[in-house]
Structure 1
């Protein structure tokens, strides 16, 4: 007989680990399964840091969700004694009519967010380690910052275990099935059954949720750590997180956290991959050139040659917005998929929504715009 639980969570990255913790806090007898040992460097929840911000250019309806997430990350810090969220401020620079500036200002106006535009002359005075062009607009979100990714995953897994969740690492899910009697999960080590299933499998959703008919695409994304000249390290260490919209895409970077380098990356674009298990994890010159050519010249004292790198994945939905919903054919199955490279910051709030959908069949959180109903499935 397979081991039996109230609920099983497939995938224990950012969203899955938070969901496991949320269910365990509710007293649910829950099992979490991951093909690796999280936190790990094989999926989408690694690379040391992720931006967290409220003025959301992707869609203004995200703002109430991320506002709630800010509070929930602080609650997790209190629960586990870990430092997870660091406020640094976020500097956004780009064309005034570009997606980054225009979308952020629209979201700020709709939700009365504390966003200020910095006059052209003042930017150079306040941020001497960053270089600005004359025709750009610059705005600043004071309360934004970054999350420590691996620490966040570890904190959620720690909280889940403290509340009785069972965790299986290094176990690959082969398939799952659902019926009126519940769900069954088959892995390379055994079988499990439960009343409910939540799928938070990241890039592996392309396999585990293929029956939805939603054309997910997986993008290979390279994160780079560039050396900083000693003369500029203090400015980068005390400065804000930053995003630059350029002709070549949207680039972002973080303060100097290790005393020697800054993490830089291109948010937009990315090479599509068909198999997350076979993704190319080597560094190529074509990975370095966009950042070296478009972003590094805007950063004083930063070496265009990276000292190290890692590769992660974005799992893109067709419209680049999340999918948070119950399975259209199996009400006992709930899913989070297609987080499209901007989901990590929402993890505790999406976990709350997934818990509501799984246990009660509905959520009062404002997630209707993330439902499967917008696709013909």
Structure 2
């Protein structure tokens, strides 16, 4: 792979970023930027070959929750509330353990979607246990595991809080319409960000890609679904339901911006360093990163483009052969208590998927509760779309086309 050279970080940007708390998404996106485009080719080629797909009939799992009050929970680093005075304590998780009597082994061993897929694919393809009862994967990877039949079906009747409190914008998703295999843990938005110290307001994706004063001062995202999703919307198309021709139109618009020099490079979340220091004027960005940057500089702003934003989620799932599905369902439902969800939101600063958590957050931090990047209102959610679920062949073809334009 040919990597685009990274623009040196200014001292000002270094100082700003050093002062920021490291978020789960910051860590994940930084890792992903350096590895995903390499990993995607191999993972996509291997992710659905004959003999790997399972069904409920070919891979039967036994639930031992009634006899064994244990649960192995794998998550991303820094993606749950932590006691600032004692970082070994996770208040909401500790409270669940005390309340339920279920001993939870919590492991922060998911650092990249493709990397984690590589860890577990041999076991799941062969209907073998992964020694994990509950995992958290980003929606597109969650969709892949559903497609491969590597997950156990959740019993929604055992999760009444999920049924009651899941945000409407995160229901009926294309890759899991009935929510039988996945429940959102946290969510986020992909949109535009700009630094008001170095440029004027930006409202549209087309401005980002064509405005002369921004030429060479713009970055786009190295994740295909984010960048192409925004371009599909800018062309008036629905990223949750589009044609191959519409994909190609969006890609052509992107290629034109690359060829003209409008786009400096493609990034993971390392755009944050350049945006904070004014080395770039504007970019495609993730809401959680800009939430953190704007806390130190109010002129760094996240924009919901007039054409719309991309809504993504990280989802709780129970893999095949996990022996404690009932315990996992109990934990999932616990985190859909609005008061519990508000505590997590106050720490991770991504979109809380739980209806009613905003009112609870007002008791913890009124400023947080009022922030639309954590608790978006209807004006935001009405413009938010997820990316269409893809079959294996289409996913591979689109990724290859995108990488050709990105230069990877």
Q: Same fold (TM over 0.5)?
A: no
Provide TM-score, normalisation by structure 2.
Answer: 0.23
Structure in which a larger fraction of residues adopt strand = 1
Structure in which a larger fraction of residues adopt helix = 2
Higher relative contact order (CA closer than 8 Å, sequence separation 6+): 2
